[in-house]
Amino acid sequence: MKRMRALGRLCMHVALLAAVGAGAAAASDLVSITRSRFPERMWTPLTAADAALAGAGRAADPASGWSVNPALLGLESHDRLRLTGVLLDPQRSDVKANTREYSDTSPLVAFGEAGAALSRGAMAYGLYVTQDAYDQAHESFLDTAFAATQPPITRDNEFTSSLARAGLAAAYRRGRVSLGAAFELSRPLERFQTVPSAESQANPPFPQPEEVRLDGLAVGGALGVVAAPYPWLSVGAAARAAGGTDLETEDGDKSGHDEVPFSADLGVHVGRSAGGNLHLSAGYVGPRDVTLGDTLGRGDERQPERVRLAAGYAYASPILPWEFRVGLGWSPYPGDGAARCSSFGIGLGYKLEGSVVRISYARESRQTPQDDVSARAFLAIGLDVRF
């Protein structure tokens, strides 16, 4: 049955190519239609503290993400529970259609980092689920690829691209040094959907509504360390790697391959728990090789490696239960065809009887070498409960 469906789809595409010619061939390709091309996985906040610091605290601040540096679990002296939700508002202006008449997705809800941490003497253990990258858009625009034979087509396109992880971590603290390791499962997801207007569907040879959903599961792990040579200074570093995974359709057919990139984070925290604190960080994400199994079989594609720098300031009142955070991040052009990014974040936290509620606003701007500019705004709300 699967082979018959595959043969039927192949025949349909051959018929389309024969009917509309080489100029329309690219338009019949689902990846080209949706303008997706596995969107580059950009920075997505994991927690409200991470959003406020624009990524500056990931390697050395426990509030900014257990899942980035497992050694941060060793800095927790109590059992904890964490839950973070993120409201994402994509504001894209980089759709490469023949016209710029399109609309973006309304704000959507995603999760950042959720988990539990247990402290037992010098050991600490953590279980977490996190979403390193999440991008989704709904675009409506005019497609003039068939203008030679038919009027412009009104299209509704949707895409989702994400990378989620689930991890089991342990950390050991001795003196002013904490070491951590984690076993992780990573799940990349790519979903593409195109829906031509009803008028277009009624006039072949235009393609009909079509959807492809691809996902996989990769095994990996992370190592991390945090050292505090002075009471006012701590330094953290972490590295993460995972194997490649075959991408499968909902029917279980292998239709692509994804390599989860290697990543590393280095951070410095200057300050004490109360008063002013300075955060500095540098991050690296390796190249990502992907084969989406699109209808024209274009083969492997690559997103280049990327370096990210960030700095942030946090102030925790020694008297009042309030805290304040603000951060800036920057990522230069990593290679030809890749984007330059900048980010900004600001947030507040309030302590109540062992728990901390945080809310943050963050914004990331993205500019390609072709001067296409887009942005994403985040509203992150997080709760840390101490037992």
Residue 295 has pLDDT above 80, yes or no: no
Residue 169 has pLDDT above 70, yes or no: yes
Token digits of residue 216: 């996989």
3-class DSSP assignment, residue 313: strand
Query: Domains along the chain?
Result: 2-386 (2.40.160.60)
Residue 284 has pLDDT above 70, yes or no: yes
Contact 72, 183 (CB under 8 A): no
Question: What distances in angstroms separate CA 211 from CA 136, 257, 290, 383, one per listed residue?
Answer: 15, 18, 19, 36
pLDDT digits (tens, 9 = 90+) for 99-137: 444 455 567 788 899 999 999 999 999 999 999 988 877
- Work out the number of other CB atoms within 10 angstroms of the CB of residue 351: 17
Long-range contacts, 60-65 (Cβ 8 Å, 24+): 60/226, 60/234, 60/235, 60/236, 60/267, 60/268, 60/269, 60/279, 60/281, 61/267, 61/269, 61/279, 63/356, 63/358, 63/384, 65/113, 65/130
Question: What distances in angstroms separate CA 214 from CA 156, 160, 200, 256, 292, one per listed residue?
Answer: 20, 10, 27, 8, 8
What pLDDT is recorded for position 158? 77
What pLDDT is recorded for position 143? 62
Q: Looking at this protein, which amino acid is placed at residue 210? A: E
3-class DSSP assignment, residue 148: coil
Residue ranges of alpha helices (H) inside the chain are: 2-20, 22-25, 30-34, 48-52, 198-201
What pLDDT is recorded for position 339? 78
